[in-house]
Amino acid sequence: MGKLIIVRHGQTQMNVDSLFFGKLDPELTELGKKQAEGARQKLKKFKYDNIYSSDLKRASQTAQIVNYMNKEIVYDKRLQEIDFGIFEGLTYSEIEEKYPEECKKSQLDWENYDFETGESPKEMQERAVSFIKSLDLEKDNLIVTHWGVIGCILSWYLSSRLQSYWKYSIDNGGIAVIEFCDDFPVLTGLNI
């Protein structure tokens, strides 16, 4: 029985500022580094065969900190956060003011809305799931990634497609665990 041990990156200043950011590439704050250290301590109760990470700085920094087994980290762009396109770097109120029509479209058809120059949650889920399907799920795989990707993975395995995407809260430095028994996924930890 293999596991997906999924860690959300530590805090960045853009998290603090409540900005929409996916492809923007901030580093961890001091608190973000402490959150990653906390995740490292919690992860010591898990063994992992492989470690994978988004190549964006906030995730790669977190991966380097949590990698207590000192395995080679494999970076994969499919683990990057959603591309918010024209919304990148803006607060929600700035988006409402600057892009009122696009904001309304994003609310009405959130699964398929591509943020004009970005990608849709549906497209993000397709790439995230294609990454997971490339893994040997008989092994224990540690993955360091972003809130959106984690929501996509949990929703894919625990509901239908994006049905439960908004129903998971995963903190910066939080850990989620899915165990596979005969290809049957079971959520055994959330925000560990």
Range of the domain at 145: 3-84+119-190
Q: If we measure between CA atoms, which residue out of 128, 110, 105 comes closest to residue 59?
A: 128
- Note whether 26 and 57 are within 8 A (CB): yes
Two tokens at 16? 């603090």
- Note whether 8 and 150 are within 8 A (CB): yes
pLDDT of 182 reads 83
Reply yes or no on whether 146 is catalytic. Answer: no
Let me know if residue 158 belongs to a domain. yes
Kind of pairing between the strands at 175-181 and 140-145:
unpaired
Let me know if residue 103 belongs to a domain. no
pTM: 0.96
List beta partners, residue 186. Answer: 179
Let me know if residue 109 belongs to a domain. no
Let me know if residue 46 belongs to a domain. yes
Letter for the amino acid at 16?
V
Reply yes or no on whether 81 is catalytic. Answer: yes
What is the biggest distance separating any 2 CA atoms in the chain, rounded to whole angstroms? 50
Let me know if residue 106 belongs to a domain. no
Let me know if residue 73 belongs to a domain. yes
Q: Which of 37, 72, 81, 111 is catalytic?
A: 81
pLDDT in tens, the chain (192 residues): 899 999 999 999 999 999 999 999 999 999 999 999 999 999 999 999 999 999 999 999 999 999 999 999 999 999 999 999 999 999 999 999 999 999 999 999 999 999 988 999 999 999 999 999 999 999 999 999 999 999 999 999 999 899 999 999 999 999 999 999 888 999 999 999
- Which CATH number goes with the domain that contains 164? 3.40.50.1240
pLDDT of 5 reads 98
pLDDT of 181 reads 85
Let me know if residue 123 belongs to a domain. yes
Rounded to the nearest 10 degrees, how much is the dihedral formed by the CA atoms of 149, 58, 44, 70? 110
Q: If we measure between CA atoms, which residue out of 119, 105, 116, 99 comes closest to residue 23?
A: 119
Let me know if residue 108 belongs to a domain. no
Number of domains in the chain: 1
DSSP secondary structure, 98-167, as one string: H-HHHHHHHHHTTTT--TTTS--HHHHHHHHHHHHHTS-TTSEEEEEE-HHHHHHHHHHHHSSTTTTGGG
